[in-house]
Structure 1
Amino acid sequence: MTIAWPDGRAAAMVITVAFEAELAILAVAPDATDRAKSLSVGTYGATRGVPRLLAELARRGTPSTWFVPSALLERYPEQVGAIRDAGHELANCGVALEDFGALDTAAQLALVRRAQEAFRHTLGVLPTGFRVGRGEMSPGLPGALEAEGFAWTSSLRGDDRPHFHAAPAERLVEIPQHHQLDDVAYFAFNLDPPIPPGSPRIAPTGDVLDNWITEFDAYHAEGLCFVLTLHPELIATPGRIGMLAQFLDHVHNQDVWLATAGEVAKFWSEHGPANPPDHPVEVFHRIIGETTV
């Protein structure tokens, strides 16, 4: 299926940023509250990474969508305000990177609502998009999100184009992401506690740049939607921000629609085709329905 992207562009690209600060450690190691060395990685992301990443995005006017746990809104008001004031989109990902996989639909929705209220109260912003920070959405959450007024989510990996969720959330747009387009898979490293476990090794920046260019060029050739996920504490070190700059220069020289997730969702809501019966989200929905009868 050939997609007619806006202005006749050959492909689409969305940059998403997960601003998680210290919560990235605490969510998986709650007992690390007194480990200043580990927590300082997240603090670095907030105090040094966010300004550096915003500056790089501003260099060529690159739009982006930022997922911010609402627990950080009052902890880092200057940084979050700078993201908003720079014109980037803010999106909901819960309160404190809770494991959604351990919660039922009602508990997941309660966290989403708490985060929405925090955005409204603190920033005067009401996000229209959601991504699970950790774990899985319950089968009932997409329908609940649509009923709450959300327009899109970005939590699944079953396609490389936007698509709609299955009934009863047929108008809720999903903007899929993939591990190979997430800087965590290449750069996440904490020695103690080991995050991720298994003694990972930090990838060379040149290799990551080659991977992302190869992936982008393939997405571009097929007219797809490339979704990059970044973390300020990982991508916005002095060396890696240079790698990102090289990648964005490559992207800006191509015939691609650079947009926020909300803009892509609006386009797909107005012009996107219905899901075919064999789409992964439709197949999953049928399987879940059969197992819950």
Structure 2
Amino acid sequence: MGMPEPWEWGEAQWRARVERVRAGRALRPAGWPSDARCAVALSFDSDHEATELRAGGGSIGRLAQGQYSSRRGVPRILDILERRGVPATFYVPAVVALLHPDEQRRLAAAGHEIGIHGWIHERTSPLPVQIERDLQLRSADTLHQVTGVRPVGIRTPSWDFSEHTLAITRDMGLEYDSSLMADDDCYELLLDGQPTGVIELPVEWIRDDAVYFATHHATGARPHLSPGDVYDIFRREFDAAWDEGGIFQLTLHPHHIGHRSRVWILDELIAHAQARGRVWFATHADVVQYARAHAM
């Protein structure tokens, strides 16, 4: 007999599945540094060539798109961040760090955070736990060797979070994860109902450029929203976060946002936030550390 289907599970089985990784205590501060009303945490997933390498590396065209991400996308992003005086977090697969070490050193030297983003942008959930642990440890070691800075946070590739990921993250002593979606604010992660000390800075597909700009090479599906429409969504998300006194977290990809017709979204969004005022721009690590220390 095969494994029972989900509709055949008993209550203990489906409860155990739900409770494996859960949101625990909320970590919303009463306020942010320097009397800021809102924390802005910008992030960039520097996937570059890794997503095609994960699939076997057979497409020269997709590898070239990955190289564009490094050659044009990241420099444009860095120019905007430097001009606006804004820090950010870059999540970098270890293979990308080895392919583009000078890029990562430039990021670190500019004060940006670099976080773990898998070894080769692998799918995490199908992996045996021993392999997942080895890849996560090797990724942390590689980023440390390339940049001289030990990463304190992780974002799983494609936000693919296995039943073992949290235990591995906790055992590595990482401070936070940024792959899950149970809240708008930071929260502590529970493993089988027990606090882990690992903080989640949640993401959301609404605040991710990939869902609006990705082109599916096999089906020919194309983006269905204009850059102006995407900017409007992001701006409304920021305005609502400001009104609530919370966090505006954004996930962007250099191979999407870094093109000439799109990169203005980043610049305009930062300008809008700065014009509204009382905004604290910070890395994901800084937001997590502050939320942990000042939660109500």
Q: Normalising by structure 1, what TM-score?
A: 0.85
2:50 partner letter: L
Moved more, 141-150 or 64-73: 141-150
Alpha-carbon distance in 2 for matches of 1:112, 1:2: 30
Percent identity of paired positions between Structure 1 and Structure 2: 30
Q: Please list the CA deviations of residues 2-34 of structure 1 after superposition, one character each: whole Å capped at 9, or x if unmatched.
A: 73222221111100110011122343x43xx34
Q: Which residue of 2 aligns with 1:237?
A: 259
1:223 partner letter: G
Partner-residue secondary structure (3-state), 1:270: helix
Q: Which residue of 1 aligns with 2:6?
A: none
Greater RCO, CA 8 A, separation 6+: 2
Instruction: Judge conservation of contact 1:101–1:135 (CA < 8 Å) in 2.
Output: no
Offset, 1:60: 1.0
Alpha-carbon distance in 2 for matches of 1:151, 1:99: 22
- Asked whether 1:201 is paired with 2:223, we answer yes
Q: Which residue of 2 aligns with 1:151?
A: 175
Q: Which residue of 1 aligns with 2:110?
A: 86
Partner-residue secondary structure (3-state), 1:172: strand
**For the structure 1 residues 169 and 105, does the alpha-carbon distance in structure 2 shift closer, same or farther, using more than 3 Å as the test?**
farther
Instruction: Judge conservation of contact 1:11–1:257 (CA < 8 Å) in 2.
Output: yes
Alpha-carbon distance in 1 for matches of 2:265, 2:69: 17
Show structure 2 runs of 5+ residues with no match. Answer: 1-27
Q: Which residue of 1 aligns with 2:279?
A: 256
Q: Which residue of 2 aligns with 1:289?
A: none
Q: Which has the higher strand share?
A: 2
Q: Which residue of 1 aligns with 2:186?
A: 162
Partner-residue secondary structure (3-state), 1:138: coil
Alpha-carbon distance in 2 for matches of 1:258, 1:45: 24
Q: Which residue of 1 aligns with 2:63?
A: 39
- Asked whether 1:53 is paired with 2:77, we answer yes
Alpha-carbon distance in 2 for matches of 1:70, 1:152: 18
Offset, 1:223: 1.4
- Asked whether 1:64 is paired with 2:88, we answer yes
Partner-residue secondary structure (3-state), 2:125: helix
Alpha-carbon distance in 2 for matches of 1:123, 1:63: 17
Q: Which residue of 1 aligns with 2:45?
A: 18
1:175 partner letter: L
**For the structure 1 residues 46 and 89, does the alpha-carbon distance in structure 2 shift closer, same or farther, using more than 3 Å as the test?**
same
- Asked whether 1:181 is paired with 2:232, we answer no
Partner-residue secondary structure (3-state), 1:73: helix
1:7 partner letter: S
Q: Which residue of 2 aligns with 1:221?
A: 243
Instruction: Judge conservation of contact 1:104–1:138 (CA < 8 Å) in 2.
Output: no
**For the structure 1 residues 244 and 120, does the alpha-carbon distance in structure 2 shift closer, same or farther, using more than 3 Å as the test?**
closer
Offset, 1:107: 2.5
Q: Please list the CA deviations of residues 37-72 of structure 1 after superposition, one character each: whole Å capped at 9, or x if unmatched.
A: 222111100111111111011111111000000011
Q: Please list the CA deviations of residues 81-117 of structure 1 after superposition, one character each: whole Å capped at 9, or x if unmatched.
A: 2111111000011100111110243332211101111
Moved more, 8-17 or 152-161: 8-17
2:203 partner letter: Q
Q: Normalising by structure 2, what TM-score?
A: 0.84
Offset, 1:161: 0.2
Partner-residue secondary structure (3-state), 1:134: helix
Moved more, 198-207 or 256-265: 198-207
Map residues 267-278 of structure 1 onto 2, 5 A cutoff. Answer: 267-273=290-296
Q: Please list the CA deviations of residues 183-210 of structure 1 after superposition, one character each: whole Å capped at 9, or x if unmatched.
A: 101111143x34xxx7233421111111
Partner-residue secondary structure (3-state), 2:103: helix
Offset, 1:169: 4.4
Alpha-carbon distance in 2 for matches of 1:243, 1:116: 31
Instruction: Judge conservation of contact 1:205–1:243 (CA < 8 Å) in 2.
Output: yes
Alpha-carbon distance in 2 for matches of 1:253, 1:104: 48
